[in-house]
Chains A and B, each alone.
Chain A
Amino acid sequence: MAHNTENCADVRERLRTYAQALDLDCGNDCIEAISANVSTLFDSLKLLRKQLAADFGGDFLAFRLRQGFAANEADFRPPPLERQPLPPAPLAHGTLPAMD
């Protein structure tokens, strides 16, 4: 993956937009600190995500689900499957000759 070196203003702007997208009020200090230390967009965003997810063991998905929905990943899964087979279609009983 190619990570170009962007100028600091672009990095700051992108970090702010990303924080907005997350509905977070990231302070300027935080953004300044990240953009000053990391020169690429990719790495600076990565660092931001890492910091945000620090309380979730670095799992940014878990952070987003907790932040946005007060939920865990398991909440998003359907109930366990039972795989109850349905009886074959009625023709299998030889009672509906017009159907497969």
Chain B
Amino acid sequence: MIFKPWRRRAMFRRTVLGLLIIVPALVGAEFMAGALPQPGNVILDDATVVIFGLLMAWVTFGFWTALFGFCVFVARGTPPVLPAPDDTRFPQKPTALVVPVYKESPEHVAATIEVMYRGLEARGVLSRFEFYVLSDSDDPDACVREQWAWANLCHRLGGFDRIHYRRRRVNIKRKTGNIADFLRRWGQRHEYMIVLDADSLLSADTLLRLVTLMESNPGTGIIQTVPGIMRQTTLFGRMQQFANRLYGPMFAAGLAFWQLGDSYYWGHNAIIRVTPFMQHCNLPRLRGHAPLSGDILSHDFVEAALLRRAGWSTWLVSEIGGSWEETPPTLLDELKRDRRWCHGNLQHLRLLLAKGILATHRLMFINGAMSYITSVLWFVYLLLGTAILAWHALVPPDYFPAGHGLFPVWPVWHRGLAVVLLALTLLILFLPKFLAVLLAVLQRRSKGFGGAPRLLASMLLELVHASLLAPVRMLFHSCFVLASLAGGGVHWGPQRREAHGTSWHDALRFHIPGTLLAIAWGAFAYSLDPEFLWWLIPVLGALVIAIPLSVYTSRTRAGRWAHRLGLFLTPEEQAPPAEIMELECALDRCVGAAVRAAGGFRAAIVDPYVNAVVIARLSPAARHYSEEAAISRDLQRAKLLARGTLALDHREQLAILRDRALLLQLHAEVWALPPGRASQWLSPEFAELRKWRPSWCGV
């Protein structure tokens, strides 16, 4: 393996970090042992102390990472930089920008591609980049809309030779299979690939910077940017956006400080060297039956570990801006995404003992799994606290335990020690947020957040919100962990990115069990000792108000209201970068053009242009059908003409979308239906729609 000069530095920093985590965890656990009421139940006490130690280790890990980041900024002004020339060069090697999609908004995907395409074109480097939309969508309507959006995008940009669309018929291995399929087909055409999510946006400067970094560092396999959150409108989304913008750079700098070339890959907004990725990162399925078997959902961590195992370094470059993504707009949407992430991160535990993986990446696997396991630990910790209370309330004290001296053993509880421990824990949890505010003020960035007073107010409100959400997340994450360990599968659905708000019905359905649990738990604790309820109020209270909290924070009206008050502002909101402004314009254009294909499968048959796009993508070679297949095909055609699109299921519709001859035939036949039978196809709305004339369509 090539000697890497940063490895010694990394080793030292990680050793220091390890000590800074372990020592406070041990000291904290010792304090906790002293703070528990005595004499108590040994099993309950020991379990509480152990779990507290683990939780302390977890929170101190975040604390020190943030503190490292703070120190890096204060000491150097900028985070550590991967060696590269100051300016970007004309890329020597071709780069693919790949966008795996699964039933995402095709207009949004098209709009982000348009912004990046135009940016690269303006810098005169477009010839070194190609875009690939890699669809795994299995819904016929979505497939048609995707193809239509792609065709319009290519036409608008003149980019048929640079923007490619490919749809897989079978979604083997989900996103990893999608990328692997791209690599098999076209991997050798490109030296690098930049992986994007459906909502990813990178500025042209950042794209060029990434390529330059790759070309300047030939031993680097992955360079991960730190995406900022953009375009949030709900109160929940805006608070997440604010938190990401304020705390994100500091945390990222801290991570980069101790990870150096053994860093994370987050699955998108990153550049990858294609050849080693193809050689070493073909992910297998996890063997066996549930739990945690099958496709690796959180593939990115594993890919980074495998690439690193092969000797290629992986870097997190927090100093590069111009990288954005969107975030789930509501709490429920975030929790749905977490269900998938939780399962994926727990799967990493099965890879802990895989040969050749570096210790740092093994720790990252543990760290990822702990993101969710700590919720279970916290939940159990609270249960244990209540059980200890019940023990002391219900079991009469034994003043003269066996083997003790002449004097009675009085029950004691060092309340002061418990308060100190709680205060220390809160300090560890919240100090990084105050440091982030301080950093923004020191770096004169507070104006971008609305000025120092508003920045502080926003941070305090975000802190309260995060504190209220923590117990809700704890409960859900605990359920997710248990469900995954019990062998529950994970539904692979599209991520919702638009802000539609959470209905009361949905909030009630998802949060009512937690609310009822909190009420019952509180009543039980109160019956044992009214004073103990105060210790549980921050947790139980948050669960009790989870329903209205979930509903109100999901609303865009609340988000706008906060914006008017100058709360949760971000520099990107105050002075949007050119790319984000262009994205809004591009979205308008794409959404406008999409009207024509809104009917999805029906449009593919009726609309002459949508029909042409779908057909043009199919091979003109004549297909031979067996007698049985031909009969089935005729039957489907007849059903479709007689009863409309509802007569066929998705599988049958997808088969028709792959049948060039049948699509041509159906288009001709539908338009020739007599007026009575044509109404379901050529409805009045359809006629109205046709009157809309796209600007691109010249005669």
> Which residues of A are in contact with B by a Cβ distance under 8 Å?
1, 3-4, 6, 10, 14, 17-18, 20-25, 40-42, 45-46, 49, 61, 64-65, 67-71, 73, 75-79, 81-91, 95-100
Contact status of A99 and B284, CB under 8 A, knowing A78-B164, A83-B185, A85-B184? yes
Do residues B671 and A14 form an inter-chain contact, with CB atoms below 8 A? yes
Q: Can you list 20 A-B contacts with CB-CB less than 8 angstroms, sorted by A residue number?
A: A14-B675, A20-B691, A21-B607, A22-B608, A49-B668, A70-B155, A75-B616, A76-B151, A77-B617, A78-B165, A81-B186, A85-B184, A87-B279, A87-B282, A89-B282, A89-B284, A90-B280, A97-B354, A98-B287, A99-B350
B351 at the interface (CB under 8 A from A): yes
Contact B616 A61 (CB under 8 A): yes
B609 at the interface (CB under 8 A from A): yes
List B contacts of A91 (CB < 8 A). Answer: 284
B160, B166, B184, B699: the one within 8 Å of A84 (CB): B184
How many angstroms between the C-alpha atoms of A49 and B278 in the bound complex?
Answer: 48
Nearest to A69 among chain B residues (CB) is B155
* B354 with A99: CB separation less than 8 A: yes
Beta-carbon contact of B694 and A23 below 8 Å: yes
Bound state CA distance, A76 and B612, in angstroms?
10
Report whether A17 and B699 are in contact in the complex, using a CB–CB cutoff of 8 Å: no
Contact in complex: A46, B166 (CB < 8 Å): no
Known: A14-B678, A71-B155, A91-B284. 15 other contacts (CB 8 A): A40-B672, A42-B668, A61-B615, A64-B612, A67-B697, A73-B620, A75-B160, A76-B151, A82-B185, A82-B189, A83-B185, A85-B184, A88-B282, A96-B354, A98-B286
- Expressed in whole angstroms, the Cα–Cα distance for A88 and B284 within the complex equals 8
Q: Which residues of B contact A17 (CB under 8 A)?
A: 682, 687, 690
What distance in Å separates the Cβ of A35 from its nearest Cβ neighbour in chain B?
A: 13
Closest residue of chain B to A71 (Cβ to Cβ) is: B160
A86 to B277, CA, bound (A): 10
Chain A residue at minimal CB-CB distance from B155: A69
Contact of A20 (CB < 8 Å), options: B278, B674, B687 = B687
Contact digits for B574-617, partner A, Cβ 8 Å, 1 yes 0 no: 00000000000000000000000000000000111101110111
A71:B286 contact, CB within 8 angstroms: no
**Contacts A68-B609, A68-B612, A95-B356 given: A82-B287 contact, CB under 8 Å?**
no
Chain A residue, CB-CB nearest to B609: A68
Q: Hey, what's the 0/1 contact readout for B272-285 against A, CB within 8 Å counting as 1?
A: 00000011101111
Q: Which residues of B contact A83 (CB under 8 A)?
A: 184-185
- Which residues of chain A come closer than 8 Å to B690, judged between CB atoms? 17, 20-21, 23
B160, B184, B606, B612: the one within 8 Å of A86 (CB): B184
Indicate if the CB atoms of A99 and B672 lie closer than 8 Å: no
Bound together, the chains give a CA A27 to CA B645 distance in angstroms of 33
Instruction: Give the total number of A-B pairs whose CB atoms are below 8 A apart.
Output: 155
The contact string, 1 if C-beta is below 8 Å from chain A, for chain B 146-176, is 0000011011000011001110000000000
What chain A residues lie within 8 Å of B152 (beta carbons)?
69
Query: Count the B residues whose beta carbon is within 8 Å of the partner chain — how many?
Result: 62
B674 touches A6 (CB 8 A): yes
| Residues in chain B near residue A82, CB distance under 8 A | 184-189
Complex CA–CA separation, A79 to B160 (angstroms):
10
**Chain B residues proximal to chain A, CB less than 8 Å:** 151-152, 154-155, 160-161, 164-166, 180, 183-189, 278-280, 282-287, 306, 350-351, 353-356, 606-609, 611-613, 615-617, 620, 664, 668-669, 671-675, 678, 682, 687, 690-691, 693-694, 696-697, 699
Q: Report A83 CB to chain B, min CB distance, Å.
A: 7
Cross-interface CB contact of B278 among A6, A14, A84, cutoff 8 Å: A84
From A18, A23, A79, A84, residue with most partner B Cβ within 10 Å: A23
Known contacts A20-B687, A70-B155, A88-B282, A4 near B674 by CB under 8 Å: yes
CB atoms of A98 and B188 under 8 A apart: no
Which 5 pairs, one residue from A and one from B, show the smallest C-beta to C-beta distance?
A89-B284, A42-B672, A64-B612, A75-B160, A76-B616
Per the bound structure, the CA–CA distance linking A46 and B668 in Å amounts to: 8
Return the contact of B668 from the options A45, A71, A85 (Cβ within 8 A).
Answer: A45
Other-chain residue from A1, A49, A77 in contact with B669 (beta carbon distance below 8 A): A1
Q: Are B287 and A84 in contact (CB under 8 A)?
A: no
Q: Is B151 in contact with A23, judged by CB distance below 8 angstroms?
A: no
**A24 and B278 contact, Cβ closer than 8 Å, known pairs A76-B151, A90-B306, A99-B285:** no
State A81–B188 Cα separation when bound (angstroms). Answer: 10
State whether A86 and B278 are in contact (beta carbons under 8 Å apart), knowing that A75-B160, A75-B161 are contacts in the complex: yes
Chain A's nearest CB lies how many Å from the CB of B355?
5
A45 to B189, CA, bound (A): 44
Residues of B within 8 A of A84 (CB): 183-185, 187-188, 278
CA distance A18 to B678 in the complex (A): 13
